[in-house]
Every structure is written in structure tokens, then in C-alpha cells.
Amino acid sequence: GAGVSQSPSNKVTEKGKDVELRCDPISGHTALYWYRQSLGQGLEFLIYFQGNSAPDKSGLPSDRFSAERTGGSVSTLTIQRTQQEDSAVYLCASSQQLNGGELFFGEGSRLTVL
Amino acid sequence: KQEVTQIPAALSVPEGENLVLNCSFTDSAIYNLQWFRQDPGKGLTSLLLIQSSQREQTSGRLNASLDKSSGRSTLYIAASQPGDSATYLCAVSPAFSGGYNKLIFGAGTRLAVHP
């Protein structure tokens, strides 16, 4: 596609429910990233996928968070048993270059946990 | 631990002024530095990327400089316009194996340009 596409744009859920957030990167980009932007915390790295290598999950805040990337393209970020502190905007980005290239961000998925 | 600081946190100026936004980082071991723009409720738009070996990059009315040894970058906006109103974010890419892709962001400078 022309840009990074994320869905849903907004998600309101109840505490304890599971949510899935989807990211469709720019076609041909080998690297895909998830970041979280919350009030008071700024932008935090969560996870990145690079080609066929194992993902770097070092930024995931707890084992309730997981992500996968199927076929080297679309990625899904899953949050299990959501908590109120999970409320944030989840941003996905992709990059053509494998290391330290220019990142192109989607518009984010705003998650509100009641 | 790398920390990125942006000053000022907020800035309000009349149209036409030339602006300087500041970014500082505590660890000079960076691979590159990027400036982004974020409009309210939107994602980030990449403005300029400066590799660690470069001193500056220019795009239109924007010029970004990098002084890696002193841990500083500035974003210069010439002849500001109301359409420049947004939050500007600075991010560094750590220069260690496995770190390149984990951008560390500053908190941003919220810019308002009024007619």
C-alpha cells in the first residue's frame, strides 16, 4: 500500500478482555516495529520484526503482550487480559532498510481500557 | 542509559518567524538521529534523518544539524507558517548490535504558529 495502515483506529474495551491490533506495512518493507505512546511516558519501543529473523521482543512490558508477523507482511499485536494502564496509542512503523533506516509510521490504534 | 531531551516543551510564535528546536542526548554512540512531526490524533511523519557521520540535512524550509560529540541536534524552521503547527519529536538510534532499530524518543516540542 501507499502507507502503513493500522486497524482499528479506535478500540474501547473492558478490563480483562483480549484485544488484537493490526498493522499492514508498506509493501516491500522488511522491517516492522510496534511502539506505544501514552500520556506521561512518551513513545516506547515494544517489538520489531526484521525479515525472517526472530523478533526482538525486549520492549514488551509484560507477558500479556505478544505479536506476530505472518508471511513477512501483516502484523498483529495482541494484548491479553487488558488492564487500564494498557490504554495508549499503539503505533506501527515499517522500514525498507534492515538496520536504522527511516521509519514510516501509521496513524495508530487508540486503545481505551475501561 | 540513553536519554533524549527536547527544549522547549512548547513554543508559540507569530507567522514568519525563524525557529530553532533543540534536542540533546546523553550517549553519543548513535547510529542516526531522526526528526518527526506529529499532528494531533495522527501518526508520526518523518522529516529528516541524519546519519552519525553527517553534520546536517535540509529539506525545504527545514534544516537539521547534528553535533554527535556534544550530544546535540537542532531543527531550524525558516519562515514559519500556521501549517507548521504540530509536535516535533527527535529520536536517536543507538549504535550497538540489536539497538539500531529501537529508537529512543524525546518528549517533543509542541509548536503553535499563529497568523
pLDDT 10s digits, A5-23: 999 999 999 999 999 999 9
Inter-CA distances, B9 with A85, B52, B54, B64, B94, Å: 24, 25, 26, 18, 23
The whole-number pLDDT of residue B12 equals 96
pLDDT interval class at A100 (50, 70, 90): low
Q: Which residues in chain B land under pLDDT 70?
A: 97
CB proximity A4 to B under 8 Å: yes
Q: Which residues of B touch A48 (CB under 8 A)?
A: 101-102
CB proximity B98 to A under 8 Å: yes
Query: Residue A20, CB half-sphere, CA atoms under 13 Å: how many?
Result: 6
d(CA B62, CA A7): 32
The whole-number pLDDT of residue A70 equals 84
| The residue to which cell 526484521 is assigned | A50
CB atoms within 10 A of CB A56: 18
CB atoms within 10 A of CB A62: 11
Buried b (16+ CB within 10 A) or exposed e, B38-58: beeeebbebbbbbebeeeebe
What's the DSSP call for residue B98? T
The whole-number pLDDT of residue A99 equals 65
CB proximity B101 to A under 8 Å: yes
Q: Which residues of A touch B101 (CB under 8 A)?
A: 31, 33, 48, 50, 56, 95, 99-100
pLDDT at A97 over 60: yes
Percent of chain A with pLDDT over 90: 72
**A108, B43: Cβ pair inside 8 Å?**
yes
pLDDT at A1 over 60: no
Lowest mean pLDDT among A22-26, A52-56, A92-96, B23-27: A52-56
**B91, A106: Cβ pair inside 8 Å?**
no
pLDDT at A107 over 70: yes
The whole-number pLDDT of residue A30 equals 87
What's the DSSP call for residue B4? E
Instruction: Give the closest-approach CA distance of B34 to chain A in angstroms.
Output: 8
The whole-number pLDDT of residue B13 equals 96
The whole-number pLDDT of residue A94 equals 92
Mean pLDDT calculated for residue range A55-71: 92
Residue in chain A closest to B109 (alpha carbons) equals A42
